[in-house]
Amino acid sequence: MRPTEAKKEYYRREAKRVGYRSRAAFKLLEINNVFHIFNEGMYVVDLGCSPGGWSQVALQFIGKGKIVGIDIEDIKPLPIEFINASIEDPSLSERILNILGRKVDLILSDMAPNVSGIWSLDHIRQVDLVYKAVDLAEKILRRSGNMVVKVFEGEMFNQLREDLSKRFKDVIIFKPKASRKESSELYLICKGFKQVS
């Protein structure tokens, strides 16, 4: 088995052993170990939440806090509020705020488009999802709130990072060990939302 396959297999087995629904759960655990994104009682929105690994991790840390998960795919029951919709749904911000009753502390986005295999096209589609997540943040993220977004490296990456830096105090690039080395996937840890409202 190639080292990358062995690593994938390791995380797959670990996820099964611990009861996580996805290997991706380990990426979020690493992000939290380094950046301490979770707090007791916080309100979280998990974009692209299916099958539920990231929400499972968030549930471990937020105590009496709440999670609203959004995905175009369905999800097996978890103690979160689930909205079966696309990030493009214009009613999403209102629905989230109605459920939670106030703005959110943290937005997570592990959204990824169906991969076409055409690298540049997949990059554009993925960056588009991130901009949609940022548009949503403008409406539902509290001032000084945080956001974690998955991005694929590519020609639009620097512009995206610059745009995010206008809205957040700190934007840090992070590649979790649980993410395959050869994958262009990165995470942007965006801290301190600047919106005043």
Hey, which residues are catalytic here? Answer: 150
- Which of 39, 55, 48, 51 is closest to 92 using CA atoms? 48
Closest CA to 66 of 22, 105, 93: 105
Window 81 to 140, contacts with ligand SAM (CB under 6 A)? 86-88, 110-113
Torsion of CA 110, 71, 130, 12, to 10 degrees: 20
Query: Which residue, 24 or 96, has its beta carbon nearer to ligand SAM?
Result: 24
CA gap 17, 158 in Å, rounded: 38
Residue selected from 24, 80, 107, 160 as contacting ligand SAM according to rule CB under 6 A: 24
Contact between 74 and ligand SAM (CB under 6 A)? Answer: no
Residues 152-181 contacting ligand SAM, CB under 6 A: none
**Binding track, positions 46-65, relative to ligand SAM; x by CB under 6 A:** --xxxxxxx-----------
Residues that bind ligand SAM (CB under 6 A): 21-22, 24-25, 48-54, 70-73, 86-88, 110-113
